[in-house]
Amino acid sequence: MTTTRAGTAATRATTADFVAFAVTVRRIEKMGAHFVRVTLGGDDLEHFHAAGLDQRVKLIFPLATTGLTTFPRGGSDWYAGWRDLPEHERCPMRTYTVRAARTAAGEIDVDFAVHGDTGPATRWVNRASVGDELLVVGPDARTLVVGAGPIGGVEFRAGDADRVLLAGDETAAPAICSIIEQLPADTRGQVFIEVATDDDILPVTAPGRMTVTWLARDTRDASHGEALNRAVRAWVSEMVAPAAADEPVETTGNAPLGDADADAEPLWDVPPATGEHHGLYAWIAGEASCIRELRRFLVRDTGLHRNDVAFMGYWRAGRPES
C-alpha cells in the first residue's frame, strides 16, 4: 500500500482532529549559518498531541493586510475552508517538523532552514520577532481516539528492522535529529545529512551504534543533493547486494519514476504501518528530484523491498510548496 500525503490527511479524522493552535514567537535562536530555531508558545498548545519522531505540522503565516483573521479556525475541516478562500484571503501555509515539543509548557520548537528570501515561510522567519503571531495546525489531544490508527503526520516506522538508514537535506535535518534522539539505544545504522556549510552542523545525540555523517556542500563544491546521493549509494552498495538484472522496475501509486514526471507532485511513498521489515529500513527526505533518484537506486537498482523504504519529497526546486 502506498500512503500519499492526501491519503494521510484522509485518515486523520479517525485518530485525532487537526486544529489550528494560536501561538506567538517566544524565542528565536540562530543554530547555524542557515538554521533558525523558533520556539512557538501558546496556552492552547497544552492540547497539542505531540507524537514525536518526524511529526509534521502546517504553519499558517499572516497576510500583510488581514493577518491571520481569514483562516477558518472553527471545526476540523479547516483545509477545505482554507482552500475555498479567494487567493488574497488565503494565508500562506507551509509544512514543518516539530523539532521538540514541551506541551506542559505550551511550547514547540521548529527549525527553519533559511533559503534566501524567496517564499512566505523563509521571508517570515527572516523578519520574525518575539511576540509575532502564527497558527500551527496539528492533532488535538482532546479528540484523540486511542487505538484508532497511526496519527497522521508521522512517517518513520522502522518496526523490527535490523538496521536503519536515514538520509536527507537541511529541510529533513530537524526530522532526522528528532528521530535519532528517540530511537532505542541499541539501534544500528547510518545517518547522512546534507547541509549548505560546515557551520550548519547541528548538535545531536544518536544511539551508540549509529554513525551520523554531515555533508557540507560548500567544502565539496557540490550542487544540492550531489553529496547525499553519492554518500547513500556508496554506503548501500557496501551493505546490500545489488538486485538481479531482470528485477522489474517499480512504480508507486503516487508518482511514476520516469523523468517525464518531473513536474508531478513531490514523490511521497511510505510503507504501511506493519512493522515488518526485511533487514534494512530506509527513511529518505529532501528535495524531490534528489529523492526520486535515490528511490530509483534503492528500489530499482539495489532491489530493496518497497515496504522497507520511506521516500518523501519535502520540497521541489523552483516551485513553491503550494
Ligand X SMILES: Cc1cc2nc3c(=O)[nH]c(=O)nc-3n(C[C@H](O)[C@H](O)[C@H](O)COP(=O)(O)OP(=O)(O)OC[C@H]3O[C@@H](n4cnc5c(N)ncnc54)[C@H](O)[C@@H]3O)c2cc1C
Question: Does residue 192 belong to the site contacting ligand X (CB under 6 A)?
Answer: no
The three-class DSSP label of residue 145 is coil
Give the interface size with ligand X as a residue count (CB under 6 A). 24
How far is residue 133's CA from residue 296's CA, in Å, rounded to a whole number? Answer: 42
**Could you say which residues in the range 119-138 bind ligand X, by CB under 6 A?**
119-122
**Contact region for ligand X (CB under 6 A) — 17-25, 43-51, 111-119, 199-207?**
111-119
Question: Does residue 319 belong to the site contacting ligand X (CB under 6 A)?
Answer: yes
Quickly list DSSP for 176-194.
Answer: HHHHHHHS-TT--EEEEEE
Rounded to the nearest whole angstrom, what is the least distance from the CB of residue 244 to ligand X in the complex?
34
Question: Does residue 97 belong to the site contacting ligand X (CB under 6 A)?
Answer: yes
Question: Does residue 315 belong to the site contacting ligand X (CB under 6 A)?
Answer: yes
Nearest to 31 by CA among 163, 170, 152, 199: 199
DSSP 241: P
**Could you say which residues in the range 47-66 bind ligand X, by CB under 6 A?**
56
Contacts of 273 (CB under 8 A, 6+ apart): 149, 150, 157
The one among 65, 74, 80, 118 contacting ligand X by CB under 6 A: 118
| Per-residue cell: 263 | 513536474
Read off the amino acid at residue 45: L
Name the residue whose CB lies closest to ligand X.
119
**Contact region for ligand X (CB under 6 A) — 39-47, 83-91, 93-101, 255-263?**
93-101
The one among 32, 62, 168, 174 contacting ligand X by CB under 6 A: 174
User: Cα angle at 94 between 272 and 111, to 5 degrees?
Assistant: 85
Interface residues with ligand X (CB under 6 A) are 56, 94-97, 111-113, 115, 118-122, 171, 174, 314-321
